[in-house]
Amino acid sequence: MKLKGHIHYVGVNDRVKHRFEGLWILPQGVSYNSYLIDDEQGVALIDTVDAAFFGEYLDKIKEVIGERPIDYLIINHMEPDHSGSLQMIRQVYPHIRLVGNKKTMEMVQGYYGAARKDDMLVADGDTLDLGHHKLHFYLTPMLHWPETMVTYCETEQVLFSGDAFGCFGALNGNVVDTQMNTAAYWPEMERYYAAILGKFGAPVQTALKKLAPLTISMICSTHGPVWVNEAPRAIDTYRRFSQGDTEPGLVVCYGSMYGHTQRVAEAIARGAAEAGERTIIVHNLSVSQPSFVLADIFRYDTLAIGGPTYNGGLFPVVEDLLRRLCGRSVSRHRLGCFGGFTWSSQAVKQILGYNEKMKMELVGEPVEWKQGVSADTLQCARSLGKLLATRA
């Protein structure tokens, strides 16, 4: 599929994989995007696809160039869903030169033992002239691996961005945003960011500043649609999430064994509603998938989290969420917490302990109860909900 000038899309869809990275559920599948530049002085392939789809991938490449050779394989990111076809590409095109930075080449050798002396080592700001197309390489470490970089085609003003500005969701016939209804992809971009890049807010901001002087008419990421008309929105989504910018809303997250913690969570939501909060999302952490929970927390400014004491500690699904949050940039949120116990009070203490790392703004007093939930406990929960709905 031709995108612009001599730039072609040769990616594939994965509608089989249940979980991305073995962790994040994929109800709408995922795409592995690769791009081919068919130029007068050289043919360049930008990233590859998951090895399971190599046959389909090779067919797409040959639809564009027939039996002509590929001169360069530009590696923006070495994660195996993008580099997985590298060895097979080298077998089909034995004279192809890999193009990547120092850390990329170390990973090429470490993963595939496939580095060669004639491969092209690039540094930040280096260029590659394909004839008509002039390519520039910019290092963007920790987006979201240490070797990540982006490739910018000066001639067509196209940014090949690696995983940046990508999202979950397979592509349904159309590839470019101008040819599709993109509504389903924006929540998937937020979920992708929260799950995959949520830890790397500072590196994302550094990369955005580095790329800001470029004139970008098209963003070609390695997952999801090619962004043209909505490229500014994709950039703004990454800017907002990386800076911790949120919108008003309350996310209530809880785990419950026998229903007591659930009643308190519902009372918090009720109190917030009584105080006029319009956006309230309640997640039972034993049911909700973590990436959807994380996306909601990144989107909204207030979080209430609670669970029972369990085996002298915190209920596992609640602790799992807190551990994930400690590894992500969420410090600008407001927090309410709640927890119950039968004989040893631990849940609230441990939530507060995690918040020493998260550094959220604690709102009100934690709601804590022993054994059964009383009417007084539920009233305290409603009061906490009202406080969480009140913003200065």
Would you list the DSSP string of 323-344? HHHHTS--TTSEEEEEEEESSS
Query: How confident is the model at residue 40, as a pLDDT?
Result: 82
Identify each DSSP E strand in 334-379 by its residue range. 334-341, 361-362, 367-370
Residue pLDDT, tens place only, 124-152 = 999 999 999 999 999 999 999 999 999 99
pLDDT cut 70: percent of the chain above it:
100
Of 114 and 45, the one with more pLDDT: 45
Q: How confident is the model at residue 92 (pLDDT cuts 50, 70, 90)?
A: very high
pLDDT surpassing 90 at residue 114: no
For 263, other C-beta atoms within 10 Å of its C-beta total 18
The answer to whether residues 290 and 253 touch, using CB atoms and an 8 Å cutoff, is no
Check whether the bond before 144 is cis (ω within 30° of 0): yes
Mean pLDDT of 101-130: 95
Longest Cα pair distance anywhere in the chain, in angstroms? Answer: 77
Mean pLDDT of 76-84: 96
What is the average pLDDT score of the chain?
A: 96
CA atoms of 128 and 120, how far apart (whole Å)? 10
- The token pair at 97 is 């030169």
Tell me which H or E stretch contains 38: strand 35-38
Residue pLDDT, tens place only, 42-53 = 999 999 999 999
**Is the dihedral angle over the CA atoms 119, 123, 126, 132 positive or is it negative?**
positive
Residue 270, Cβ density class (10 Å: 0-12 exposed, 13-18 middle, ≥19 buried): middle
Mean pLDDT of 73-81: 97
Mean pLDDT of 55-75: 97
Residue pLDDT, tens place only, 159-170 = 999 999 999 999
Whether the model clears a pTM of 0.85, i.e. scores above it, the answer is: yes
* DSSP of 92-118: HSTT-EEEE-HHHHHHHHHHHS---TT
Total count of residues recorded for the chain: 392
Query: How confident is the model at residue 392, as a pLDDT?
Result: 67
Residue pLDDT, tens place only, 355-391 = 999 999 999 999 999 999 999 999 999 999 999 999 8
The answer to whether residues 369 and 375 touch, using CB atoms and an 8 Å cutoff, is no
The answer to whether residues 12 and 32 touch, using CB atoms and an 8 Å cutoff, is yes
Tell me which H or E stretch contains 358: helix 347-358
